[in-house]
Structure 1
């Protein structure tokens, strides 16, 4: 195959956080690669990281310590850290029960267990880095309408308004989110189960500062999390809230005033952060566990929420996606060094198998928390108390739990200088 036969090497369908991170990782790992990102929303050329002003209502993402290490490999952490709030402590408890587990970054000789970063800031940092990459071409606003395999790889139909063009590429990566229309069109089998709950997302303020502590609170009505939000230099009074609610409870919460929401939140969370004084703009979405057993086909791979969506209880969604992205890039880099076709099913299956165990264990961990803490049975409540106390007292169990929370529980995909071992393999 000659390069003259191709319009581009990789097409990324979706330019959100997952797609943009993949594009940047590919430029770092395989600088000669030509990448086309197809994004449904128009780019805003005037948006700049230099003009970014944090907003009280900004939605945010929890990044594990392992994700920080990956962004360091991408030479992006220096920028992200300017507006990243460290999580130095994690407090896990069962409302109304005595069991609790506490984690501290200092116990693991780290500055933080993780970080909270505004989604907009993360996106601006990614875009600022990608603007400097001439090998990346953006088609926006545009959508991938179809993908067809051929002897050269894949033909990708890209629609912008009424105009449709076809790009020939080695591989297309689907990164257009949990409701991926392209995934559905191509007939990927999706296993989906509803939790019968919604996640309400908002920023809140409390009378006591958060002390850089993330709270995971399990209640009889569902779990809730409060993540430290705001400055990275001093502990503030703002936190990012993830509140799990039934359909009926969500309707009631949305129907009342902000003051009444704060009062109901106080009843569910308690007084560990003092009084809730403010709640910002509320967003909500239904909670569903979605997995795709086979995330690759010849010339096609799924990443991010297009491959799996989790309950937000453990804050693992984007961190799992990031590890999957790096696993894919690792395989593509090795294939490029060997002179192999990047859309080869064998290469893409290596990515799938390397990421499968991490994905399955993370899904089981997140889903089991919901199942275990959702059982209103006296014996189970005692078992939960014993488990939380055991995690707090047993060094080995506590270390395992901390490493899982930090995103260090399994193999971390890496790329960089390709070793002679890889080249000779």
Structure 2
């Protein structure tokens, strides 16, 4: 059996949103490194339509303002923004109680607090940008194993019936939390089951969303409605994240679309008028997953492979983006200092710098779910007071807004000036 061999500086397992963004950032800021991406789905220029037409059932991701700044630095935002709906207002409320707080972009001198973009459009935008780089793609293919060797790692790849071996200085695992590669390589993930499921769908309402995102905490669990559709005109389409128990999920999935809308109406209320349509429903169990030690010599975990959060707070992908830029910063520094990019000192700096951000974000996201999931009257009264307090206290409200916008960390949330300067040198 023949084995094909390939050498690369960096191998990325997974070419989804996290892996593709990392590849683009490396091509932009550390072009000295050769980068290879291994992706399970086939890639082709034919998959990049000249005229993109969003689907009503397209799944989407909430992008914080800090993430928009990262995409700006990658020269990706001008194209990506063509189909990114702005979030200009956030309304957080406790269903059936008086507590509520409101955030507005104009209070922070921003055009938006965040955006909602279709996952497919983000993927296409990344593919277009990567077509003009030297990043090498192996697709369809899958990383099946890894062995430490002198100076890096040897990665076993299966491409159809053909095995490959790739010698790399560093392997980055960006294929999500359910591929099994993380566990196969011995990384220990800590998982807390929320005992709930997320139902994801796009819905239409009789009233316009007014570019407002609604975070609604109910006695049965949290839910979110995010503005979706046209970036320029406030329409009637929203992206729904609905938290349901196992039995509730089963009941909802058995209903007709009209009955689903009625159930949603009863749970959410009438702030957007009547629910008139619900699209294709996707669902998955909700778990908080973290990996305490996401690096080892020659290997690093990023994105959902390193941490997966509850989706209602909208923090997961934004946290992943900040982690990717932290990793790129460390690779840039390693190249400048003549250090091996897979050295534990290099990857350990990434872990140390990103740790504070993910710990704070996990705590922020998890505490929201746990506090607002308590039905007891004293707890409910206390959180109502807290929501009203956020609305009345400028300092607390600014802190909450920074968390929502992804700009609340102590370290820079976008590439540093030094990194941007290096990129400029290579562009000349």
Q: TM-score, normalised by structure 2?
A: 0.95
Matched, 1:35 2:35: yes
Match in the other structure for 1:398: 397
The alpha carbon displacement at 1:49 in A equals 5.0
How many residues are aligned here?
416
SS of corresponding position for 1:7: strand
Match in the other structure for 2:181: 182
Match in the other structure for 1:75: 75
Match in the other structure for 1:255: 254
C-alpha contact 1:63 1:116 (8 A) present in aligned 2:
yes
Match in the other structure for 1:423: none
The alpha carbon displacement at 1:416 in A equals 5.5
SS of corresponding position for 1:170: strand
**Matching of residues 35-114 of structure 1 within 5 Å:** 35-114=35-114
Matched, 1:288 2:287: yes
The alpha carbon displacement at 1:6 in A equals 7.4
Distance 2:333 2:180 in 1: 30
Q: Identify which range, 374-383 or 106-115, moves more after superposition.
A: 374-383
C-alpha contact 2:9 2:35 (8 A) present in aligned 1:
yes
Match in the other structure for 2:351: 352
The alpha carbon displacement at 1:419 in A equals 9.4
Distance 1:90 1:379 in 2: 26
Provide, for residues 386-410 of structure 1, a one-character-per-residue CA deviation record: whole Å limited to 9, x for no partner.
0000000000000000011000000
Q: 1:73 to 1:49 in 2, by over 3 A?
A: farther
Query: CA RMSD for the aligned pairs?
Result: 1.4
Q: 1:138 to 1:61 in 2, by over 3 A?
A: same
Match in the other structure for 2:366: 367
Distance 2:326 2:282 in 1: 32
Q: 1:419 to 1:193 in 2, by over 3 A?
A: closer
C-alpha contact 1:49 1:128 (8 A) present in aligned 2:
no
Q: Identify which range, 362-371 or 120-129, moves more after superposition.
A: 362-371
The alpha carbon displacement at 1:180 in A equals 3.0
SS of corresponding position for 2:172: strand
Distance 1:37 1:419 in 2: 23
Match in the other structure for 2:297: 298
The alpha carbon displacement at 1:48 in A equals 1.5
C-alpha contact 2:101 2:391 (8 A) present in aligned 1:
yes
Provide, for residues 129-182 of structure 1, a one-character-per-residue CA deviation record: whole Å limited to 9, x for no partner.
00111x211111101111111112111111112211111111000001011311
Match in the other structure for 1:409: 408
The alpha carbon displacement at 1:413 in A equals 4.8
The alpha carbon displacement at 1:248 in A equals 0.2
**Matching of residues 9-408 of structure 1 within 5 Å:** 9-133=9-133, 135-408=134-407
The runs of at least 4 consecutive aligned structure 1 residues that moved more than 3 Å come to 415-420
The alpha carbon displacement at 1:32 in A equals 2.1
Q: 1:419 to 1:246 in 2, by over 3 A?
A: closer
SS of corresponding position for 2:345: helix
Distance 1:187 1:73 in 2: 35
Structure 2 unaligned residues grouped into runs of 5+:
422-428
The alpha carbon displacement at 1:241 in A equals 0.2
Distance 2:211 2:354 in 1: 31
Distance 2:418 2:288 in 1: 37
Q: TM-score, normalised by structure 1?
A: 0.96
Provide, for residues 304-345 of structure 1, a one-character-per-residue CA deviation record: whole Å limited to 9, x for no partner.
000000001210010000001000000000101111100000
C-alpha contact 1:329 1:415 (8 A) present in aligned 2:
no
SS of corresponding position for 1:40: coil
Q: Identify which range, 5-14 or 382-391, moves more after superposition.
A: 5-14
The alpha carbon displacement at 1:192 in A equals 0.4
C-alpha contact 2:6 2:165 (8 A) present in aligned 1:
no
C-alpha contact 2:73 2:414 (8 A) present in aligned 1:
no
